């Protein structure tokens, strides 16, 4: 078996292996969410290894990444690189807000509202991205069939 993408394989083994290690450790400590993380780790490792060894899967993965970058650039312009990570920045802003100000009721409510805004943002962005990605993939398939 020939490795198509060494970079994908190495990242999969390092990141997936680390996630798997900490997840198994959590399962052994009987943490309830660890089983969910274990399923995610196994899925990500399997997908990464499949993409690393399959030329067709690697090509499809690259095509999906290119379409995703194009969609973000079309929608958000110069802010495209940070938009997928904006929810993390919102959560960090919330943590900073809670750390700096005293824990009064208005600050607690504001903190909860900011966290809810982050969840709503992720939900809306993922819905938009899924719909746009499906449409772009269908258009790409139709263009390929017509050519």
Tens-place pLDDT, residues 88-129: 898 898 888 888 888 888 888 888 898 899 899 899 989 999
- 3-23 tens-digit pLDDT: 898 999 999 999 998 998 989
Say how far apart CA 5 and CA 69 lie, in whole Å: 20
Q: In whole angstroms, give the CA distance from residue 91 to residue 103.
A: 17
Q: What is the pLDDT of residue 142?
A: 78
pTM above 0.85, yes or no: no
Residue 54 φ/ψ region, left for φ over 0, alpha for ψ in the -120 to 50 degree band, beta for the rest: beta
Taking only Cα atoms into account, the Rg of the chain, rounded to an integer number of angstroms, comes to 20
Q: Under 8 Å CB-to-CB from 118, ≥6 apart: which residues?
A: 87, 90, 91, 94
> What is the rounded distance in angstroms from the CA atom of residue 107 to the CA atom of residue 72?
33
């Amino acid at each position: 078996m020939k490795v198509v993408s060494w970079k994908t394989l190495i990242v999969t083994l390092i990141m997936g292996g680390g996630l798997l290690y900490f997840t198994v450790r959590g399962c052994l400590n009987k943490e309830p969410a660890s089983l969910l993380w274990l399923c995610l780790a196994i899925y990500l490792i399997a997908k990464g290894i499949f993409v690393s060894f399959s030329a067709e899967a690697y090509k499809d993965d690259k095509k999906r990444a290119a379409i995703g970058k194009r969609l973000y650039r079309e929608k958000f312009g110069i802010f495209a690189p940070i938009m997928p990570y904006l929810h993390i920045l919102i959560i960090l802003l919330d943590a900073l807000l809670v750390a700096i100000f005293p824990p009064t009721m208005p600050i607690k409510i504001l903190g909860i509202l900011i966290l809810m805004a982050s969840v709503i943002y992720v939900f809306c962005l993922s819905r938009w991205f899924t719909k746009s990605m499906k449409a772009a993939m269908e258009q790409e398939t139709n263009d390929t069939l017509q050519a």
